[in-house]
Amino acid sequence: MPHTKRRRLVTTAVAVSLGATALAACGSEDSKAESGPVSLTYWTWTPGMDKVVDLWNKGPGKKDQITVTVKKQASGDTLVTKILTAHKAKKAPDLVQAEYQALPTLVSNDALADISKEAGAVKGKFADGVWQQTTLGTDAVYAIPQDIGPMMFYYREDLFKKYKLKVPTTWDQFAETARALKKAAPDKDLTTFSANDSGLFAGLAQQAGAKWWTTSGDKWKVAIDDAATQKVAKFWGGLVKEGAIDNQPMYTPSWNKALNTGKQIAWVSAVWAPGTLTTAAPDTKGKWAMAPLPQWSASENVTGSWGGSSTAVTTDSQHQAAAAKFAAWLNTDHDALNALAKDGGIYPASTSAQLSGAFSNPPEYFSNQADFYPQAAKIANTTAPSAWGPNVNVAYATFNDAFGTAAKDKSDFAAALAKMQDATVADMKKQGFEVSQ
């Protein structure tokens, strides 16, 4: 691998380990106060973002002579690849929307600027566990949190009452609830273990205290098979093997039918679940309720995160200070956040926005639960810190394959986890990363 990239990765590892003030200079000279008109380009996939940006261009942006142009992009790995390709040619846009798990990859390739001087003051607007995802555990700030996906437990309130089930507050209770339902109604399942969306498993591991990527000295440490994740894998694998829950993937016609007909009566999901349920189970509107995610210990109060993204400034931008000002406005301004919720359908990372504007009333699908968003805000504030690395895509792809097979065959989930660990480490070494286990 190129020497510059290797050096950047080692610097990142050291900084994450020691809490350095910055991973690299990241264009600090370009962050001086702007004078005269400035034009910025923003790559994003959020629906309706052009309407939100219009608020800036006609308001604060116009006053500051900063104009932002939205360029719609695909999301996920496709966008990460496009950003890195553009950065290699030194033609990346000024601003990019980036999922939290993509930040280490972009930072290690020197694609994102440290905007701590320009935007670090907004830290208090976000939960600690959310803000940490944009700092990579350092004093640097590589993005401003935009939207989040705190995890929670959804269940059919009417069917829980019918079968005399209690809403589980611990995972042990969750397992007992699954068994009790099977005993009362053998044709029904509490839920399913799905291996076609790795973000769910990652969030469950995060809640359990997993730290998949960390650093040791000047090396990356990969611990996808750590004790916390093994606990999660064995728990779900055991339920699948004994037949206490289903083993079919989510987002299929069969899964939709199971939710819509009451064959499955619960779902471990995130705050965005109402939108999915509206489409998947339209006939059950008003019959569901939301509760905090079950805990591994009754004394704990923590949740994982499934999804979410941030707004970052690139090192290629010639106007980093102006771009950072816009990124901070976009994700902390009251009107901007209301527009993001209304036109983009996001659940904001900003804690104040979670209880105002578009979130003053519950989702229409959950009109029966008046405190939906107040409760969601409390849950979001308990988001556990994450530990992402530079090849999340490989870990996720391996999860889909290994756990997909294990779920289908009802075989050893621990063995599937080991495959995920080995594949991730092998890929990092192949790319030239210094790795310890």
* pLDDT for position 215: 79
Mean pLDDT for 354-373 is 92
What's the CA gap between 241 and 68, in Å, rounded?
A: 53
At 261, which helix (H) or strand (E)? helix 253-261
Give the pair of three-digit tokens for residue 17.
């380990």
Neighbour count for residue 293 (Cβ, 10 Å):
24
Residue with tokens 């009452």: 161
Q: The whole model's pTM is what?
A: 0.90
185-209: per-residue pLDDT in tens? 999 999 999 999 999 999 999 999 9
pLDDT in tens, 91-113: 999 999 999 999 999 999 999 99
What are the phi and psi torsion angles at 268 (to 5°)?
Answer: -85, 115
Tokens of 87: 């950065």
Nearest to 171 by CA among 257, 216, 238, 255: 238
Of the listed ranges 16-30, 73-87, 177-191, the least confidently predicted one is: 16-30
- Residues 327-344: tens digit of each pLDDT: 999 999 999 999 999 888
Alpha helices in 19-75 (DSSP H): 49-58, 60-64
Does pLDDT of 22 surpass 80? no
pLDDT score, position 34:
54
The pLDDT tens digits for 170-180 are 999 999 999 99
Looking at residue 73, its pLDDT comes to 94
Q: Going by C-beta distance under 8 Å and a sequence separation of 6 or more, which residues neighbour residue 382?
A: 127, 129, 150, 301, 302, 303
Residue 60, classified by CB atoms within 10 Å of its CB into exposed (0-12), middle (13-18) or buried (19+), is middle
Tell me: pLDDT of 30 over 70: no
- Model pLDDT for residues 258-280, shown as the tens digit of each residue: 999 999 999 999 999 999 999 99
For residue 11, the model assigns a pLDDT of 41
**pLDDT bracket for residue 413 (50, 70, 90):** very high
Q: How confident is the model at residue 356 (pLDDT cuts 50, 70, 90)?
A: confident
Centre a 10 Å sphere on the Cβ of residue 137 and count the other Cβ atoms it contains.
Answer: 18
Q: Are 228 and 209 within 8 A, CB to CB?
A: yes
**pLDDT at residue 436, as a whole number:** 83
Q: Which of the 8 DSSP states describes residue 112? A: B
Calculate mean pLDDT across residues 384-391.
Answer: 92
- Give the pLDDT mean for 243-248: 97
Three-state SS at 272: coil
Residue 248: how many CA atoms within 13 Å on its side-chain side?
A: 16
331 neighbors 229 (Cβ within 8 angstroms) = no
Q: Residue 4 pLDDT more than 80?
A: no
Please report the pLDDT score of residue 35 as a whole number. 61
Q: Of the ranges 8-22, 54-68, 149-163, 389-403, which one carries the lowest mean pLDDT score?
A: 8-22
Percent of the chain with pLDDT over 90: 85
The DSSP result for 186-241, as a single string, is TT-BS-B---S-HHHHHHHHHHHT--SEEEETTEEEE-TTSHHHHHHHHHHHHHHH
Q: How much is the mean pLDDT over the chain?
A: 91
pLDDT of residue 217: 77
Model confidence pLDDT, tens digit, residues 273-327 = 999 999 999 999 999 999 999 999 999 999 999 999 999 999 999 999 999 999 9
Q: How many CA atoms, within 13 angstroms, populate the side-chain half-sphere of residue 408? A: 9
Confidence (pLDDT) at 76: 86
What letter does residue 265 receive in the DSSP assignment?
-
